[in-house]
Amino acid sequence: MNQYTAQQWRRYTIRVGIYVALLLMTAIFLIPVYVVIVTAFKNPAEINLASTWQLPTELYWQSFSEVMAEFGPRFGNSVQLVIGATILSSIMGSMNGYVLSKWEIPGHKFLFPLMLFGMFIPYQAILIPLFEFMRDIDLYGGIPGLILIHVVYGLPITTLIFRNFYVDIPDEMLEAAAIDGAGFWKLYTDIVFPLSIPGFVVVIIWQFTQIWNEFLFAVTMTSNDAQPITVGLAQLAGGEAVKWNLPMAGAIVAALPPLIVYIVLGRYFIRGLLAGSIKG
C-alpha cells in the first residue's frame, strides 16, 4: 500500500515536471513574439532600450500604415512573384514526378540525383554566372526574371515531393487504364492528377513559404522597383539610427502570410519540411 502511493507520487511529480518543462520551452519560443508585438504597437516616443519589455500604454497603429506606405509596392511584388513561381514550379514538378515515377526514361537513375543536387547547392556558387546570364537575356532586375529563377531552383524539391507521392500510386492502376487505350496524357489527367491534390497542397504551401521568405536572390537579382518584401524589411531594419517600431511592424507584415498558411495548413507544411530530408 505504502509503496503503491510512493510510486504514484513519483509518476505524479514526473508528469508535473514534463508540463513545467513544456511551458518553459513555450515561453522561450514565444518571447520574441511578445517583443515584436509590444514594440510594433508602441508609440515611437515610448520606445527605448529600458522599456523593451513593457506593454504599450496605448495601441499605436500608425507604424503599420507607415510600414505599408513604404512596403506597399514590395508587398505587391512578393505576391506576384510567389503566385507566378509557385504555380509554374508545381506544374512542372508534377509532370517531372509523373515521368520519373511511372515512365522508365533511359538514365532516370542518374538524372534524378543530378536534378536533386540543385536544391542543396549554395546559391552563392551560381550567383555571378546567373547575374551575367540574366543580364544577357535581358531579364535582370525585374519580377519575371526573379520568377524564372525561383521556378528553376524550385524544380528539384517539387519534383522530389511529387515523385515520392506518385510512387505510392499502384502501377497496376495505370496499366489497367493503359490496356483500355489510355496514353500518356489521359493517364495523367484521369488517374494521376486527381489523386495528387494533397501533393499539390504540400508543394504549393512549401513553395509559397520558401519564395516569400527568400532573400539572397531577392537582394542580388532585382532593381529597386522590383524588390520583394524581405529586401524591404532588411532595409527598414538596417542602418544605425533605427526607430524600432517600424522594423517590428514590418516583421509582422512580412511574417503574416506564411504564418497564416502555417497555422491553417500546418500538417501539409510539415510534410513539405520533412520531404526536404529526402525520405524523412
Partner 1 sequence: MKNNRDRSIAFLMLLPSLILLGIFVYFFIGRAIQSSMTDWGENPAQPPLSETVEISYVGLDNYVRLMTSFTESSFRVSLVNTFFFTIFFVAGCIMVGLFLAILLDQRVAGEGIFRTIFLFPMALSFVVTGTIWRWMLQPRGGVNILPTLIGLDPIDFAWVNSQETWFQFLWQDVPRILTFVGIGILLIMAVRYALNQRWRSMGFVAAAAIVGLLVFMAGAWDYIWPALDVPAAEPTIAPKGFNVALLGVIIAAVWQMSGYTMAMFIAGIRGVAEELREAARVDGASELGVYRYIILPQLNPIILSAMIILGHISLKIFDLVFAMAGPDNAKTIVPGILVYTKGFRANAFASASAVAVIMLFFVAIIIIPYLWTQLRSDDD
Contact positions with partner 1 (CB under 8 A) in 58-87: none
Tell me the site size for partner 1, rule CB under 8 A: 105
Is 264 a binder of partner 1 (CB under 8 A)?
no
141 bridge partner residues: 222
Distance from C-alpha of 117 to C-alpha of 110, rounded to nearest angstrom: 11
Q: Which residue has the cell 508535473?
A: 16
Closest separation between CB of residue 81 and partner 1, Å? Answer: 13
Distance from C-alpha of 62 to C-alpha of 78, rounded to nearest angstrom: 23
Closest separation between CB of residue 92 and partner 1, Å? Answer: 6
Task: Give yes or no for a contact between 161 and 206, defined as CB atoms under 8 angstroms apart.
Answer: yes
Distance from C-alpha of 266 to C-alpha of 278, rounded to nearest angstrom: 19
DSSP state of 169: S
Query: Where in 28-57 is the site for partner 1 (CB under 8 A)?
Result: 28-32, 35-36, 39, 48-50, 52-53
Is 251 a binder of partner 1 (CB under 8 A)?
yes
Residues contacting residue 53 through CB under 8 Å, at least 6 positions apart: 35, 38
Q: Which of 114, 138, 190, 195 binds partner 1 (CB under 8 A)?
A: 114
Query: Where in 12-31 is the site for partner 1 (CB under 8 A)?
Result: 14-15, 18-19, 21-22, 25-26, 28-31
Looking at 62-70, 138-146, 191-199, 260-268, which segment touches partner 1 (CB under 8 A)? 260-268
Is 276 a binder of partner 1 (CB under 8 A)?
yes
Q: Which is nearer to partner 1, 200 or 258 (CB)?
A: 258
Distance from C-alpha of 56 to C-alpha of 48, rounded to nearest angstrom: 12
The total of other beta-carbon atoms located within 10 Å of residue 141's CB is 17
Query: Where in 187-246 is the site for partner 1 (CB under 8 A)?
Result: 187, 209, 212-216, 219-220, 230, 233-234, 236-238, 244
Q: Which helix (H) or strand (E) holds 237?
A: helix 229-237
Q: Which of 130, 191, 202, 203 binds partner 1 (CB under 8 A)?
A: 130
